[in-house]
Amino acid sequence: MSGKTVCVHGLGYIGLSTATVLAHSDNQVYGYDTDESLLRELEHRTVSLDEPGMERLVVEAMDEGTLTPVRECRAADYHLLCVPTPVVDRRADLSAVTEAAETATSNLRPGDVVVLESTVPPGTTVKRVLPLLEADGPDEFGLVYAPETVLPGRILTEVRENDRLVGGVDAAATKAGVDLYESFVEGRLHTTDATTAEFAKLAQNTYRDVNIALANEFAKLTREHDVDPRRVIELGNTNPRVDIHTPGPGPGGHCVPVDPWFLCEGTSRETLIEYARQLNDEMVSYVCELVGERFEELADRRISVLGAAYKGGVADARNSPGIRLADELRDRYGAKVRLHDPHVSSPNMDWTIENGSVPEFVAGSDAIVVTTDHDEYRDLHPGPVREGMRTLVAVDTKDVLDASSWREVGFEVARI
Ligand code: SAJ
């Protein structure tokens, strides 16, 4: 029996899943959030996060009384801060971290521990959070940075199974962090200091972003030699020390396209990281050009964009390449664009997302552009899609269509 009390600040996809797993690991957990509608939803035993297994586990923990949503922060052995850190003008907006740290501080008893999980620029824990605790907290407290590394779509598995970095501001804090995470983490716990843990977390997503930018550069270069970039990458990766990622319309979501900016924050040097970030951001324009090459004029052409989610199998449309593509085709080229996604309902005010049958959705279109690797698109048969289309053009940015069978029925298929 681990038997700790934990107050989790922020019940988004990280906070709620961590709170739930902690509650199922013999801890007494309070889930604190300032969003009244979210708390009410939980009290009615519903979870709007589209994450496999989440709702059942949340409801079980609440029914057993180990997880309690609360409107006021509670005193607890540990305060886990899982609040958002959006990027604004290429800088981290730390207002939610500051507010959560202040709330935790005013509820802290001697010996309690604050753990920051949110992704933050290096130095945030020591330079921003620690001074708040020193000024207004008790004489004795622990402060730890312990980033999450879970993959949306696999959160409940990864929150338990992944290795974890635990970086305290001193040795006692690190030990207190280990005591908490070993109550539910099956992976290894790697101890370090807070700033190293912050940097390492950002290094993971930055590695992915730069690697994807490299794959996108390879894809553009292979065009000049008329070879298939995916085959090149597959063969490149036969060397056990090579792991080239997959080209696409540029990474979306709230991590990979964001974290590299946090890493560059404060440096005046030009970095490879920023350059890669820009290359990836420009991929949407590159895809527009791939579509444009197929027509004399794009104005008034009807284009069906398939995919608003930032990646396959999720309902999250934050920094969605599909939506950015739809915007650019409409605003820059005057095309008549419609957007489809089987998982996302309404990502923003600008677009109505349709989620019915694809053959019906594309009727009358001049081109389809696949921007998300959903299984539903992978399983599409070209015959029925072809029926209602006006011009048979398919631009497959995620390589999910079986190009030869689409070409067989008359489609011109373009890939990145
Ligand atoms: N993508 C490519 N090519 C690839 C791989 C991905 O274009 O070869 C695109 C995807 O389509 C998507 C974007 O990149 O648009 C990001 O997807 P992802 O699956 O790489 O990552 P996320 O954002 O869902 O989750 C990442 C993960 N980080 C790493 O794998 C290093 C996850 O472990 C982190 O916990 C998460 O960010 C986070 O919260 O930071």
Among the listed residues 50, 49, 60, 47, the one whose alpha carbon sits nearest the alpha carbon of residue 21: 60
Report d(CA 250, CA 282) in Å as an integer.
Answer: 8
160 CB neighbour count, 10 Å cutoff: 16
User: Regarding beta strands 189-193 and 67-70, do their DSSP bridges make them parallel or antiparallel, or are they unpaired?
Assistant: unpaired
Report d(CA 94, CA 84) in Å as an integer.
Answer: 8
Active site amino acids: 201, 255
Among the listed residues 370, 368, 365, 345, the one whose alpha carbon sits nearest the alpha carbon of residue 355: 345
Q: Which pLDDT score is estimated for 17? A: 96
Rg (CA), the chain: 24
Please enumerate, as own/partner, the contacts of 173-182 that have beta carbons within 8 Å and a separation of 24 or more.
Answer: 173/113, 173/142, 173/143, 173/144, 174/144, 176/78, 176/113, 176/142, 176/144, 177/113, 177/115, 177/142, 177/144, 177/146, 179/4, 180/4, 180/6, 180/78, 180/113, 180/115, 181/146
Q: Say if CB 371 and CB 353 are below 8 A apart.
A: no
The helix/strand/coil state of 102 is: helix
- Write the DSSP symbol of residue 25: T
Task: Please tell me the residue having the least CA distance from ligand 1 atom 27.
Answer: 151
Region of residue 298 (phi > 0: left; psi between -120 and 50: alpha; otherwise: beta) = alpha
Q: Ligand 1 centre and the CA of 256: distance in Å?
A: 6
Distance of CA 279 to the CA centre of its chain: 19
Q: Which atom of ligand 1 is nearest to the CA of 209?
A: 14
Q: Which atom of ligand 1 is nearest to the CA of 152?
A: 24
Does domain 283-415 correspond to CATH entry 3.40.50.720? yes
Type of residue found at 87: V
Place of tokens 């070209």: 382
Please report, to the nearest 10 degrees, the dihedral formed by the alpha carbons of residues 319, 325, 326, 331 taken in order.
110
Q: Which pLDDT score is estimated for 368? A: 98
Report d(CA 372, CA 361) in Å as an integer.
Answer: 16
Q: b or e along 114-125 (b: 16 or more beta carbons within 10 Å of the residue's beta carbon)?
A: bbbbbbbbbebb
Type of residue found at 327: D
Q: Which residues pair with 5 in a beta bridge?
A: 28
pLDDT string in tens for the chain (416-residue length) = 468 999 999 999 899 999 999 999 999 999 999 999 999 999 999 998 878 889 999 999 999 999 999 999 999 999 999 999 999 999 999 999 999 999 999 999 999 999 999 999 999 999 999 999 999 999 999 999 999 999 988 999 999 999 999 999 999 999 999 999 999 999 999 999 999 999 999 999 999 999 999 999 999 999 999 999 999 999 999 999 999 999 999 999 999 999 999 999 989 999 999 999 999 999 999 999 999 999 999 999 999 999 999 999 998 999 999 999 999 999 999 999 999 999 998 756 689 999 999 999 999 999 999 999 999 999 999 999 999 999 999 999 999 999 999 999 999 999 99
Report d(CA 228, CA 221) in Å as an integer.
Answer: 10
Region of residue 275 (phi > 0: left; psi between -120 and 50: alpha; otherwise: beta) = alpha
Q: Say if CB 80 and CB 18 are below 8 A apart.
A: yes
Q: Which atom of ligand 1 is nearest to the CA of 249?
A: 7
Non-local CB neighbours of 135 within 8 Å, separated by 6+ positions: none
What number of residues does the chain have?
416
Q: Which pLDDT score is estimated for 348? A: 64
Q: Say if CB 305 and CB 290 are below 8 A apart.
A: no
> Could you give the C-alpha distances from 245 to 147, 215, 391, 395, in angstroms and in order?
23, 6, 32, 20
Report d(CA 23, CA 263) in Å as an integer.
Answer: 33
Q: Say if CB 9 and CB 73 are below 8 A apart.
A: yes
Q: Ligand 1 centre and the CA of 374: distance in Å?
A: 15
User: Ligand 1 site: residues with CB under 6 angstroms?
Assistant: 119, 148-152, 204-205, 208, 212, 245-246, 248, 251-253, 255-256, 310-311
Report d(CA 118, CA 6) in Å as an integer.
Answer: 16
Q: Ligand 1 centre and the CA of 151: distance in Å?
A: 7
Q: Ligand 1 centre and the CA of 349: distance in Å?
A: 25
Q: Say if CB 328 and CB 350 are below 8 A apart.
A: no
Q: Which of 311, 319, 375 best tests ligand 1's pocket when mutated (most atoms within 8 Å of CB)?
A: 311
Supply the angle between the helices 283-292 and 194-225 in degrees, to the nearest 10.
Answer: 20
Q: Which fold has domain 5-193?
A: Rossmann fold (3.40.50)
Joined together, the tokens standing for residue 257 give 């396209």
Q: Which pLDDT score is estimated for 81? A: 98
Q: Ligand 1 centre and the CA of 116: distance in Å?
A: 21
Joined together, the tokens standing for residue 68 give 């309690």
Q: Which pLDDT score is estimated for 1? A: 45
User: In sequence order, what E strands does 255-363 have?
Assistant: 302-306, 336-340, 353-354
Q: Which pLDDT score is estimated for 377? A: 98
Joined together, the tokens standing for residue 326 give 């739809």
Task: Please tell me the residue having the least CA distance from ligand 1 atom 14.
Answer: 251
Task: Please tell me the residue having the least CA distance from ligand 1 atom 28.
Answer: 205
Q: Which of 160, 233, 242, 255 best tests ligand 1's pocket when mutated (most atoms within 8 Å of CB)?
A: 255
* 5-193 and 283-415 have identical folds: yes
Task: Please tell me the residue having the least CA distance from ligand 1 atom 1.
Answer: 251
Phi, psi for 212 (deg, rounded to 5): -65, -40
Q: Ligand 1 centre and the CA of 297: distance in Å?
A: 35
User: In sequence order, what E strands does 160-200 have?
Assistant: 164-168, 189-193
Domain ranges of the chain: 5-193, 283-415
